[in-house]
A and B are shown apart, each in its own frame.
Chain A
């Protein structure tokens, strides 16, 4: 007798043969640079259920550039495993030609040149076109939003999330889970959640005082589509009060809670669910571990760590789908569910090439309505990038956007050392491009953006670096928080990622004086995004705007101050 697991593997092999992961097709076509919208969307509808996944949009309503990471180190079991594969290794793994559109979408090399050739990505009006096309083929497809949607732009900040809620409501997801949405503060968050015309999910969102599931969020929701009962279980970001300011949402507690996840899967199955989908904001490595510990999950739609994978990753009987960030990708997953079991799947990671996909006119109009009250502010040009200067953030260590922000903090705030948070959001700016106020907000906007100036001993700076490094490089993914390393300006250091906490960071040097950092000496440190209540200082976007205005044309010296050992 063929077991379910065997069947899945057979099905997966068969899929690979016919190129049904969807990826092979556009990789080849794009190599010839003849990609059209029809080809991007081409998909032979399969089975009886369709899932559409978007995640980590970070309020990017309009097309942007977004460079994928050069350095994305996996530790422990994740070492060398996707998504910890970048650049040429990634292209080799998935059979992508150098210089092709897929290479531009999924890898970092030659980004400036390819960006000029292939144009911007994303834009929710393009996403709407893709979602509508999938719905035309499968009218009852489930659209699921993995969260980090109501954060990350000038308009989102000033409308306190209203712009994103308006636009997403038109896109009409069936369910959503959460992370940065909580940094709107509990009051505003609940105001928006209570009005949502779709399910707000999070089995791990707890009432802190009573240590029981929050009354404001459902753990899961049952849908009936194509004659199939589908349970969608929500998993919010587990470490919100640690990675973000807990004082902004003091009523809530989170955590991974995988034992409760198992209970929810079992409960949903007992209620007749034939397909169990987890809409997750865990981050990829946490989802990978959770899939190995919780049984009965068919599909994990993974968010938080911003990885884009052209094929699902199979863990036991669970497939994990990673759909990128900033509106750059939409995943379509078609499933054959019969006799209460997932019998096979077809998947396609659809890159939203803005110049190829026709915008949906109604959605363009709705987006422009959200932006209209702020348009003068948004479009004001503050400076330009030099002809050889790309600004990007994503990667485990400093990106050029962070170098620029750290330079701004040191110069504008008269500091020895600068610290900038290792967040994974923030679009890129090509060489020779205008930098508008909107661009600055896209990499800095948050509800706790005060730029502090304080004194720290060399020893304390070391403790901070060790602490953050362990949040990234702890070999057990359940102890990782999913951000990148804190960005440092004015100081160099060496990191050995394979060492335990307390031993990773060495050779800390104050760059200006060339002297070693003295554990006992006090340094003036400027930074932003402190999770502590009562942080004082100017807003970071004002600091960066002032610095860029003084620079005029931004040109940065290459940053060689972080030495990474044992990659």
Chain B
């Protein structure tokens, strides 16, 4: 059988799609959290993470974080081979403690944001972002 352009594309999709099953939180993520918090307890609330439920394109997923009063926010893609995405630091004169960026996700996984508050406490928010082959919508 001749391989047409379409077939090459489809085979390429096949290779990519094998990586589309859910990823687990890996050891590198745990290390990154420990390095940021020093092992301190992490609370909930006071931080929001905006992320799509299903990524339109896993290679460029728009996310936003907002944690009023934070000194720094760490963003992790917990299922990526290298989970560290960004760490945003806010000076005392910062008008707001929010940031947005686009990240690449290797597959369906939890995206996590941890804020270090001015008093040294930590809070987190997380969201599952699904990366899918798509098609077949009704």
Contacts and interface: CB of A to CB of B under 8 A. Distances in A.
Given A454-B7, A455-B7, A479-B54, A468 B136 contact: yes
Given A454-B6, A479-B54, A468 B135 contact: yes
Contacts of A457: 14
B62 A211 contact: yes
Given A460-B18, A463-B20, A534 B137 contact: no
Interface stretch (B39-47, B83-91, B113-121, B126-134): B126-134
Of the listed residues A304, A463, A482, A483, the one surrounded by the most CB atoms of chain B closer than 10 A to its CB is A463
Contact of B56 (A241, A456, A501, A530): A241
Contact of B133 (A244, A259, A464, A529): A464
Interface string A409-452: 00000000000011111000000000000000000000000001
Contact of A534 (B6, B14, B56): B6
A304 B138 CA distance: 7
Q: Which 8 A-B residue pairs are closest in the complex by CB-CB distance?
A: A243-B137, A483-B138, A424-B138, A242-B134, A536-B6, A421-B136, A454-B10, A460-B14
A536 B5 contact: yes
A421 B133 CA distance: 13
Given A478-B53, A535-B6, A456 B136 contact: no
A255 B52 contact: yes
B11 interface: yes
Interface of A: 211, 237, 239-244, 246, 253-256, 259, 304-306, 421-425, 452-457, 459-460, 463-464, 466-468, 470-471, 474, 476, 478-479, 481-484, 486, 500-502, 524, 529-532, 534-537
B134 A243 contact: yes
Given A456-B14, A530-B10, 4 more contacts: A253-B56, A459-B18, A467-B20, A468-B136
A255 B6 contact: no
Contacts of A482: 137-138
Interface string B42-71: 000000001011101100001000000000
Interface residues of B, number: 33
B99 interface: no
18 contacts: A211-B100, A239-B134, A242-B56, A453-B7, A455-B7, A456-B10, A456-B14, A470-B132, A471-B132, A479-B54, A479-B128, A479-B130, A481-B54, A486-B136, A529-B136, A532-B9, A532-B10, A536-B5
A256 B53 contact: yes
Given A253-B56, A425-B138, A242 B9 contact: no
Contact of A531 (B18, B50, B134): B134
A479 B17 CA distance: 18
Contacts of B133: 463-464, 467-468
B121 to A, nearest CB: 25
Given A452-B6, A479-B54, A502 B21 contact: yes
Majority SS at the chain A contact face: loop
Contacts of B108: 501
B94 interface: no
Of the listed residues B50, B54, B136, the one surrounded by the most CB atoms of chain A closer than 10 A to its CB is B136
A481 B21 CA distance: 17
Contacts of A460: 14, 17-18
Nearest to A56: B138
B137 A423 contact: yes
B68 to A, nearest CB: 16
Of the listed residues B4, B54, B132, the one surrounded by the most CB atoms of chain A closer than 10 A to its CB is B54
A454 B11 contact: yes
Given A421-B136, A463-B18, A534 B9 contact: yes
A513 B21 CA distance: 29
A463 B13 CA distance: 11
A455 B1 CA distance: 10
Nearest to B22: A501
Nearest to A535: B6
Nearest to B19: A463
Contacts of B22: 500-502
Contacts of A254: 56
Nearest to B13: A532
Interface in B1-37: 1, 4-7, 9-11, 13-14, 17-18, 20-22
B106 to A, nearest CB: 15
B134 A259 contact: no
B138 A242 contact: no
A481 B134 CA distance: 9
Contacts of A532: 6, 9-10, 13
B133 to A, nearest CB: 5
A455 B136 CA distance: 19
A537 B6 contact: yes
Of the listed residues A306, A423, A455, the one surrounded by the most CB atoms of chain B closer than 10 A to its CB is A455
A423 B56 CA distance: 19
Contacts of A479: 53-54, 128, 130
Contacts of B52: 255
A530 B135 contact: yes
A512 B52 CA distance: 42
Nearest to B10: A454
A387 B38 CA distance: 75
B90 to A, nearest CB: 21
Contacts of A452: 6-7, 10
Given A479-B130, A534-B6, A536-B5, A242 B54 contact: yes
A426 to B, nearest CB: 10
Nearest to B48: A259
A146 B1 CA distance: 45
A529 B137 CA distance: 10
B136 A243 contact: yes
A241 B17 contact: no
A421 B138 CA distance: 8
B54 A423 contact: no
B111 to A, nearest CB: 14
Contact of A246 (B4, B21, B56): B56
